[in-house]
Amino acid sequence: MTPTPQETWYEIIRGDSPLQQGSFLDNFPIITPEYSEEIIDGSPEESLAKMNRANVVIVTQTCDMSTNDDDPPRSPDPKMPIILCLRLPALVAKVENNRTISKTSWGRLIKNRNPNSLLLNKCQLENHELDYQIVSFEQLYSAPFDFVSEFAKKQGERIQLISPYIEHLSKAFARKFARVALPQIINEGFPYTPEQLAEVA
């Protein structure tokens, strides 16, 4: 049965649609440099890198990837880095202490208490069904705007988060990097006695 708009977090968009935050890209090539002491010393002259493929979600803000309203309109820099995060089926993702999902970690994800990960609902749109997805913020990747755009076109139809779930992703991503480690925290125990509460009732 096709879910109603109120029941889904997603829509399906064409491959040539403009890039948006919350777009799913499948089997995307992830290129990571390999660092060594030789690079620190200035050699070898050619840097080394390795490539893997993974399912990712775009977390760069949509406005940064859009043509602005200048006169004349200005398109994004083709080399602008687009930030990507890995997404994995919840059943196989490592979420806490490098362990697979459990009832405890599921509960923390539901309540947004794991700053390193975000749980996304399953997708039940016809021909694009996906299990619950976990987005990992522990490692960030990037690729040039023009490359990501071309890849998205060739992928064809793709799953796209809709509002307010785009903002849900954006908030979780920001929360990961806006955390502050306080030297002292407020005691979780309730500090007031029944007598004190009665006095102000």
**Domain span including residue 123:** 10-200
The answer to whether position 3 is within a domain reads no
Residue range 175-201, pLDDT digits in tens: 998 888 888 888 778 889 999 999 997
The answer to whether position 60 is within a domain reads yes
Residue range 137-186, pLDDT digits in tens: 999 999 999 999 999 999 999 999 999 999 999 999 999 988 888 888 88
pLDDT at 4 over 70: no
The answer to whether position 50 is within a domain reads yes
> What's the predicted TM-score (pTM) here?
0.83
Residue range 23-77, pLDDT digits in tens: 999 999 999 888 877 777 777 666 688 999 999 999 999 999 987 766 667 788 9
Residue range 84-96, pLDDT digits in tens: 999 999 998 888 7
Higher pLDDT pick, 107 / 185: 107
Phi (first) and psi of residue 191, to 5 degrees: -90, -5
Higher pLDDT pick, 92 / 19: 19
pLDDT-derived band at 1 (thresholds 50, 70, 90) equals low
Round to whole Å and give the CA distance between 141 and 55. 12
Amino acid at residue number 132? Y
The answer to whether position 5 is within a domain reads no
The answer to whether position 173 is within a domain reads yes
How many domains are there within the chain? 1
Q: What percent of the chain has pLDDT over 90?
A: 64
Count Cα neighbours of 90 within 13 Å in the Cβ-side half-sphere: 19
Helix, strand, or coil (residue 176): helix
The answer to whether position 2 is within a domain reads no
pLDDT at 97 over 70: yes
Round to whole Å and give the CA distance between 175 and 178. 5
pLDDT the model gives residue 74? 74
